[in-house]
Amino acid sequence: MRIIGGKLKGKKLLYIKNSITRPLRDLVKENIFNIIQHSKLVNIEINKSNVLDLYSGTGSFGIECLSRGASNVIFIENDKNAIKILKKNIEDLSLKKKTDLFNLDIKKFIFNSNINFNLIFLDPPFNDNNYVETLKQIKELKIYKKKHLIILHRESKKNEFFDSSLKMLLVKKYGRSEIFFAEFN
């Protein structure tokens, strides 16, 4: 696993090989960033953005954002093994000043957040559907900027349901992965 663009391009990232934490494949990550940069449907820039990386795992998405000029990334991850590797990735790449890392329940963070985000990335385990409630809470508490983007990574074989608070901009499938690009109405 590596960083695919920006000032840290080519740097390797540590990751966990287990059935709970699955890394965001480089091909999928590269396509996500190509869409952010080139799609007329997406109206944000990574450069100088505040990024919230939920279900962070070992930090691949958020670190990629920092490599491409994001101002800061907040990582939220519950798995203690993933947190250890995420901390190591952040330290090895000298990104500590631009990151905050929380090993806690996502709901607790959202209810106490006083930051608004341009980009919110969710990559929950494929069998976890709590992200629906998480999206509702983010919308209700308005922890996003007027100009924002929600990106959700799910398994392509599932039938996902989203309520009317999300405006779906684009859906892309890459093998087992399905990526949803949306914004709040």
Is residue 22 pLDDT above 70, yes or no?
no
Among 31, 36, 44, 23, residue whose Cα is nearest residue 4: 31
On average, the pLDDT of the chain sits at: 91
What ranges make up the beta strands (E) of 10-122?
A: 50-54, 72-76, 99-102, 117-122
Retrieve residue 6's tokens. 């920006």
Counting beta carbons within 10 angstroms of the beta carbon of residue 126, is it exposed (0 to 12), middle (13 to 18) or buried (19 or more)? Answer: middle
Per-residue pLDDT tens over the stretch 138-179? 999 999 999 999 999 998 777 777 777 899 999 999 988 899
Which secondary structure element, helix H or strand E, spans residue 168, and what is its range?
strand 166-174
Is residue 23 pLDDT above 80, yes or no?
no
Q: 21 or 158: whose pLDDT is higher?
A: 158
Retrieve residue 19's tokens. 């059935």
With contact defined as beta carbons under 8 Å apart, do 6 and 45 qualify? Answer: no
Which secondary structure element, helix H or strand E, spans residue 111, and what is its range?
helix 106-112
In angstroms, the CA 93 to CA 10 distance is 12
Retrieve residue 57's tokens. 């795992």
Per-residue pLDDT tens over the stretch 46-83? 999 999 999 999 999 999 999 999 999 999 998 899 99
pLDDT of residue 125: 85
Retrieve residue 98's tokens. 């631009």
pLDDT of residue 20: 60
Is residue 1 pLDDT above 90, yes or no?
no
* 6-184 to CATH, choices 3.40.50.150, 3.40.50.300, 3.30.70.3400, 1.10.510.10: 3.40.50.150
Once rounded to an integer, what is the mean pLDDT over residues 91-98?
A: 97
pLDDT of residue 55: 93
Stated length of the chain: 185
Domain ranges for the chain: 6-184
pLDDT of residue 21: 61
Q: pTM of the entire structure? A: 0.93
